[in-house]
Amino acid sequence: MTTWLSGREARSLVVTGAAFAAVFLTLPIPTVGAAVVLVFGVLTLRPRVMIVVLLVMVSARSSNAIEGLRPVATKPLSNVEVTLVADPRPGEGVWRGLAEIDGSVVMVEARAGAGASLSRGAPGDALRVSGSMKGSTPSSAWAISRRLVGRIDAAEIELVRLADGPRRWATVLRDALREGASSLDRNHQALFTGLVFGDDREQSVVTADDFRASGLGHLLAVSGQNVVFVVGLAAPFLLRIRSLNVRYVAFLAVLVAFGFVTRFEPSVTRALAMAALVGLAANRGSPRSAIDVLPTAVVALLLVDPLLGFALGFQLSVLATLGLMIISPRLYERLPGPTALRAGIAATAGAQLAVTPLLLVSFGTVSVLAVPANLLAGPGAGFVMMWGLTAGAIATVAPSAVAAVLHWPTAMVIRWIEAVASAVASIPVAPVGLAHVVVLAIAWGVGARCPRRVRAGLVVLALLMPLAFPTSLAPGTHELLPGLTLIRFESGMDVVHLERTTGASSVLAELRHANTGRIDLLVVADGSRQAGRLVRTITDRFDVVEIWAPPAHNIPGARVVADEPMAILERAMPSSSDGERAR
């Protein structure tokens, strides 16, 4: 039986953890001092000293990088050229894209015609922008990881020139794969591009909420699984190359090409670095396991870009990898049942357990149904990835009728994945917080000395607690978000007051956490088009019986109530007996 923690696993955990600590515990060492430390480490020729030296270098580079995040100047812009560094993403009536201007990264925000122009951009494209720029200091880990130091409110945007080189070819390939899947409806096409190369920008808010609630959101973020599939597809061609050195160069070319297609997102960057190191070791005749390669890959990446350590995707990717390497084998040995089922549960649960602490810190809750959801949807996601890069590539040059036939299996599997996400998200379940994790740990600890079946039973009971006792707000008035109020009556009637427009994803998440099944009355105080889009999203997710809105509104299906918002709300608050009659 596998021991609790081997020496190699302990070293991997320590070095990987120390690398992240070095990023956050910055040491203000000047460049000359860092160079002296590096020379000392090289001269000692002692591995442990060299590791410490590299960690000091990571900390010094992190300190210098953070020190260099100075806000851009606040000023008007007129026909200023910027270069996109990431794919623009849609928001609530606005398009946003990261761009570089004079060596600094800013967020470009554009609406209406300027937003349409921005939406057609891709990384490496040069844009001519007019508007206003305002500097800001990065206030979040995401902003630090992206080196974001300002915002441009763009009034006009014009495409100056397209990207060149690998970035342009990557965009052409992405567009071709997307166009080849045009037989899919818009939402399924967004799921296809998300599963194949991580582009989920066109995904509906409702579907995105389903994937988050069911613990399947990671399937739309390219990771190590996708890299394994790509290498598997390339393997028959790579193995035909006799020269090991040439084969390794070709292998690196495949990895780099896939990196460009996936925009070198943090999670895939980790996987690519590990694959490159594993391939190098195999090429030199000294194969290395993932547990040995992970700390090397992490330290190397953080040396190149120390602010990568602030990216949540990179952190989750590293933790999930540790879970697969350390926790999953132990779960596999202890779980009862058929081999294939044990392997699937162990892999999914190992990764989930490893990332749970970070998810709790970042989001406050995790999904207790993530393991069964991934067991049901995970194989399908792998199929879409493999099929999308093979048959999907043929579909890009085939007639539309042939492309539709080629993507028929894609559509079927995507419908299955979507159905799993929707079904799991609709199950009333208490959010898993720190208290539940503690109960689960106690159950595992108590059962450690018990027979396997007893231990498994205790763990299953702990896992089922959120299902057995789903959270539900008590009758009364509850402010779920600023501008979003839920009024729940003892009769079971739910009235939602939308006082002002807010983020659709936040609204859906809060209503879901409140276990809202049906909205008897939706009172909308803002009759704008933006509010209308939000109401359509709410009605797509929930069964809404009636909608009240002010005069001259843009709310589909709403009945006009000519009163001020607070007066409307008062009329929407009958007594419990009235609520019963209304139902």
Domains and CATH numbers, the chain: 7-67 (no CATH), 75-163 (2.40.50.140), 434-468 (no CATH), 476-582 (3.90.190)
Closest CA to 355 of 346, 344, 366: 366
Residue type, 441: A
The 10 Å CB-count burial string (b at 16+, else e) for 252-261 is eebbebbbbb
- Closest by CA to 187, choosing from 380, 403, 421, is 421
Q: How far is CA 223 from the centre of its chain?
A: 10
* Side-chain half-sphere CA neighbours of 576 within 13 A: 7
Nearest residue to 214 (alpha-carbon basis) of 427, 472, 513, 506: 427
Closest CA to 154 of 93, 76, 219, 217: 76
Q: What per-residue confidence (pLDDT) applies to 580? A: 38
List helix spans (H) across 336-493.
339-363, 370-395, 400-406, 408-425, 434-446, 452-468
Burial of 165 (0-12, 13-18, 19+ CB in 10 A): exposed
Q: What is the pLDDT of residue 105?
A: 96
Question: H or E stretch including 233?
Answer: helix 224-238
CB count in 10 Å sphere of residue 264: 15
- Using CA atoms, how far apart are residues 413 and 166, in angstroms rounded to an integer? 31
Q: Which residue type, as a one-letter code, is found at position 389?
A: L
Give the pLDDT score at 380: 92
Contact in structure between 294 and 12 (CB atoms under 8 Å): yes
Q: What is the pLDDT of residue 578?
A: 41
Low-confidence ranges of the chain (pLDDT < 70): 1-4, 31-35, 37-46, 430-472, 562-583
Q: Give the per-residue pLDDT at 583.
A: 36
Per-residue model confidence (pLDDT) at position 240: 92
495 near 544, Cβ under 8 Å?
A: no
Q: Which residues make Cβ contacts (< 8 Å) with residue 436, sequence separation at least 6? A: 368, 430, 462, 465, 466
Instruction: For residue 499, give the H/E element and its range.
Output: none
Taking the C-alpha atoms of residue 238 and residue 282, their distance in angstroms, rounded to an integer, is: 14
238-251 as b/e, with b when 16 or more CB fall inside 10 Å? beeeeeeeebbebb
476 phi and psi angles, rounded to 5 deg: 145, -170
Residues ≥6 apart with Cβ < 8 Å to 238: 247, 250, 251, 254
